[in-house]
Structure 1
Amino acid sequence: MSHLVEIRDLKVAFDGVQVLHGIDLNVGRGEAIGLVGESGCGKSVTWLAALGLLPGKAAVSGSVRIEGRELRGVHRSALESVRGGRIAMIFQDPSSALNPVLRVGRQITEAVSLHRGLRGETARAEALRLMDMVGIPDARRRFDLYPHEFSGGQCQRLMIAIALAGEPDLLIADEPTTALDATIQAQILDLLIQLRTETRMATVFISHDLGAVSQVCERVCVMYAGRIVEQASIEQLFANPRHPYTRGLFDAIPRLDGPRDRLIPIPGTVPNPRYLAAGCAFAPRCPNAAAYCDLQRPALDMLADGRHLACFNPVPPANSLPVRRKILEGV
């Protein structure tokens, strides 16, 4: 699979505090990748940095290429042609991402005009088509309504319509179902899967929800404390999570079948990036940690099965894919 986007050694610091520690990530054409981990692990920051959307106080280094073209350090006008046109992002909270004083139709036509040069009735017709595509009922009548006149799920659909306005090659969905109830979440996930099938665009799905990731993605990157600690196909990860942190994420999922059992939470919290130890950042919370884990940081190496893992004491191989799939069916 050819690479659409290549990220190499991406680092980010705020006020001298390193929060991303050299992210390497490829996105293939038409591929769907999941980015998972607890809040504060660097999932959203990775892509905000890649698109040049972090505030000016952020110190960013590394390489971000789209089809071999470097995006880091280019003129702002060149970067703006990529945002929305080649790479589009759906942000976490549609209520804050949508402009509350502009009618939704204008917000979609503005994106269509900016990225594709359409004007007047042509732009309006395309905006209505996008509203229909993402499942906004009675789009023509609701074209001139304001965001507050739509439900939370419909606002998320409007955000997806704006993201699709530039016909991007890559769609980054940042926690697109977080604030939605279970039924609407399922509808949004189905919509993302349908759109990817129809448009053949690549997708990066940022989420805490392993169940959602299992439905949408082909490959998963697990992040912890600003680093990728495990990267594998969806089948490999769900059958056999090898990093203790990944295993902890699975163990913390409530089961909806069988006897009631206590959840097994991961002890402690994500560390403050200002006070990271010299060794493995997960060592203070890890059941497999040894003394040397506090002193030396494991590299992200490729294993014999093709996955990448950064751990000195991984979880032993196991075959539990059917069980994990069954657990996540109802999540």
Structure 2
Amino acid sequence: MDRASSNLVELRDLKVAFDGVQVLHGIDLNVGRGEAVGLVGESGCGKSVTWLAALGLLPGKASVSGSVQLDGQELAGGPREVFERVRGGRIAMIFQDPSSSLNPVLRIGRQIVEALSLHRGLRGDAAKREALRLLDMVGIPDARRRFDLYPHEFSGGQCQRLMIAMALAGEPDLLIADEPTTALDATIQAQILDLLIQLRAETGMATVFISHDLGAVSQVCERVCVMYAGRIVEEGSVAQLFSEPRHPYTRGLFDAIPRIDGPRQRLIPIPGTVPNPKHLPEGCSFSPRCFRAVEACRSERPSLETSADGRQLACFRPVPANEPVETRTRMTEDMLQ
């Protein structure tokens, strides 16, 4: 099967603007059937906006253009009814703060049954049996008794499990997990990650995992897209990016992670912050923060090109393989002087 025919979702030249300010600059992204894709980058890089735009969930003031195809069917620009059938049905999304996504005045059982009714047409006892099965599947203990509890009677980790159960109610082909472990402690984070991996193996659904946590991405995903200032700057397999990140931004994300294995070494922070979309620099958006930037980087914008090993990269001066950390430290210090 060729790559094109195996794609479940295809985003092409997806652009988003708010009040005339461009925040996404032409995103091209595929998600294959059953594939797990990670989307990483600092806050404000456009990770969540990409998928909110793809699902038609942005506010009315947002201007969205480009193509969003699900199994070859164009969604962008389509009627509201098409999105309502897709959202929660074929594509489900869970958010980082489950307490704000669950209705605080409705019992949790009713909320799951409502999803089953909308997306699968189940009613009465059949809907309740399926809701209890979903609660068992996501690891909620004593599901029958807790079916009639309210969201505030569950812990943060359990609320996230409830959101996953609601997302699974429509038997989605794609689950988008937007920072699903951010507000949880380390032990509960590990449990949620294990649950996502298990559910994907059991159901065969594709997963998009949006996160700042590169360690979590390495556990859950097969392929990673790195975003910066509304663009994808590097894309490749987990093995490629974690063993040899080539874009200076990707390399910077790894260099800023504390490590407990190997010899002690100095962390290399990325200078500055993500630029305001209203005032993007000319050329490469990362050039003001980049330890490898030269004049061409400040005047021209690199395009996303596919290399011989299959990864995609938008950079005029990629990080050489096996570059010593001392070299990057020195280059960063020279840039800051």
TM (norm. structure 2) is: 0.94
**Residue 138 (structure 1) aligned with residue 120 (structure 2):** no
The answer as to whether partners of 1:240 and 1:319 remain within 8 angstroms in 2 is no
How far apart are the structure 1 equivalents of 2:194 and 2:322? 31
How far apart are the structure 2 equivalents of 1:127 and 1:175? 24
How far apart are the structure 1 equivalents of 2:181 and 2:94? 11
| 1:56 shift after superposition | 0.1
How far apart are the structure 1 equivalents of 2:291 and 2:11? 32
Q: Which residue of 1 aligns with 2:194?
A: 190
How far apart are the structure 2 equivalents of 1:258 and 1:210? 18
The SS at the match of 1:128 is helix
How far apart are the structure 2 equivalents of 1:37 and 1:236? 17
Instruction: Give runs of aligned pairs for residues 59-74 of structure 1, distance below 5 A.
Output: 59-74=63-78
How far apart are the structure 2 equivalents of 1:197 and 1:73? 33
Q: Which residue of 1 aligns with 2:54?
A: 50
Q: Which residue of 2 aligns with 1:227?
A: 231
**Residue 177 (structure 1) aligned with residue 181 (structure 2):** yes
Q: Which residue of 1 aligns with 2:159?
A: 155
How far apart are the structure 2 equivalents of 1:276 and 1:24? 20
| 1:227 shift after superposition | 0.1
Q: Which residue of 2 aligns with 1:206?
A: 210
Q: 1:83 aligns with which of 58, 68, 87?
A: 87
Q: 1:304 aligns with which of 302, 308, 311?
A: 308
Q: Which residue of 1 aligns with 2:22?
A: 18
Q: Which residue of 1 aligns with 2:330?
A: none
Q: 1:217 aligns with which of 221, 225, 231?
A: 221
Q: Which piece of structure 1 moves more, 288-297 or 254-263?
A: 254-263
How far apart are the structure 1 equivalents of 2:263 and 2:239? 26
Identity of aligned residues (%): 81
| 1:43 shift after superposition | 0.2
- 5+ residue gaps, structure 2, are 325-337
Give the letter aligned to residue 159 of structure 1. Answer: M
Q: 1:290 aligns with which of 290, 294, 316?
A: 294
Q: Which residue of 1 aligns with 2:260?
A: 256
Q: Which residue of 1 aligns with 2:327?
A: none
The SS at the match of 1:47 is helix
Q: 1:315 aligns with which of 311, 314, 319?
A: 319
**Deviation digits for residues 139-158 of structure 1 (CA, Å, limit 9, x no counterpart):** 00000101010000000000
| 1:259 shift after superposition | 4.4
**Residue 236 (structure 1) aligned with residue 236 (structure 2):** no
Give the letter aligned to residue 220 of structure 2. Answer: V
- 5+ residue gaps, structure 1, are 321-331
The answer as to whether partners of 1:95 and 1:152 remain within 8 angstroms in 2 is yes
The answer as to whether partners of 1:239 and 1:319 remain within 8 angstroms in 2 is no
Q: Which residue of 1 aligns with 2:331?
A: none
How far apart are the structure 1 equivalents of 2:260 and 2:150? 39
Give the letter aligned to residue 296 of structure 2. Answer: Y
| 1:261 shift after superposition | 3.5
How far apart are the structure 2 equivalents of 1:92 and 1:41? 17
The answer as to whether partners of 1:7 and 1:65 remain within 8 angstroms in 2 is yes
TM (norm. structure 1) is: 0.95
The answer as to whether partners of 1:280 and 1:293 remain within 8 angstroms in 2 is yes
Give the letter aligned to residue 114 of structure 1. Answer: L
Q: Which residue of 2 aligns with 1:119?
A: 123
Q: Which residue of 1 aligns with 2:42?
A: 38
Runs of 4+ with >3 A deviation: 258-262
Give the letter aligned to residue 222 of structure 2. Answer: E
How far apart are the structure 2 equivalents of 1:88 and 1:318? 40
Q: Which piece of structure 1 moves more, 145-154 or 255-264?
A: 255-264
How far apart are the structure 2 equivalents of 1:178 and 1:161? 18
How far apart are the structure 1 equivalents of 2:105 and 2:168? 22
The answer as to whether partners of 1:239 and 1:318 remain within 8 angstroms in 2 is no
Give the letter aligned to residue 74 of structure 2. Answer: E
